Amino acid sequence: MADSHQPSGWLVQSTLMRLTNPWLTLIGERFLTPEPKTVDYWRVEKADSVIVLPLWRGRVILPPAQYRPGIGEVSLDLPGGRVEPHQTPNIAAEAILQRELGMPGVAIDSLTPINLTAWPVNSSFSNQRLFGLRATLKADFELDLPTGSRTLPYTDDGLRDLLEQIACLQCRVILLETLLDLKRGPQAQEQ
């Protein structure tokens, strides 16, 4: 029983379990490796995700902190969500900004990729990939942000301060990549 995710020399001997719901598919498989050795692996198939860094008038805009069931606590995060099968990362980013910050698509001046190739979120356990986008909003657009939203300066110090406040690894990698881009200069941010 060959599988498209299966590397050369690895053979799926059996599927131990497959659980599918609208959010993910959990798969347990028994492999025969090239050594040969039998090993069980569990993996998750999930939709790709998008993290958006919204910028307006030289500031990063953050949605209100929310309760996150995965960690059982309230967490400050950048706007983010899933890329549905019918969406591009850009379309998903527009929907995320509307949902989390009440920003209509007309407020967006540009969406710029932070990473040119999607990054695997956890390559040993999941097929999920991460897209990062910088959303520059029109300076003349008047935003009516949700209660609890906040802003920080879009500067090296502002991003470093935000890194101290955000624990989400996906958000942190987008912030770290953005800090690297700031050090590289304006031409890196335009790519």
- Interval 65-76: pLDDT, tens: 999 998 999 999
Cβ neighbours, 10 Å, residue 67: 9
pLDDT lower than 50: segments of the chain: 1-3, 191
pLDDT of residue 1: 38
Closest Cα to residue 148, out of 71, 82, 54, 61?
Answer: 61
Those residues with Cβ within 8 angstroms of residue 22's Cβ, 6 or more apart along the chain or in another chain: none
Q: Which CATH superfamily is domain 49-190 in?
A: Nucleoside Triphosphate Pyrophosphohydrolase (3.90.79.10)
Return d(Cα 54, Cα 175) in angstroms, integer: 11
CATH 3.90.79.10 location in the chain = 49-190
For 93, the token pair is: 């980013």
**Beta bridge partners of residue 51, listed in sequence order:** 80, 132
pLDDT of residue 47: 95
CB 96 within 8 A of CB 53: no
Whole-prediction pTM value?
A: 0.86
DSSP 85: T
For 39, the token pair is: 């090993």
Going through 49-173 in order, the beta strands assigned E by DSSP cover 49-56, 59-62, 66-68, 73-75, 80-82, 108-113, 119-120, 129-137, 150-153
pLDDT of residue 83: 96
Handedness of CA 45, 127, 71, 59 (dihedral sign): negative
pLDDT of residue 2: 43
pLDDT of residue 125: 92
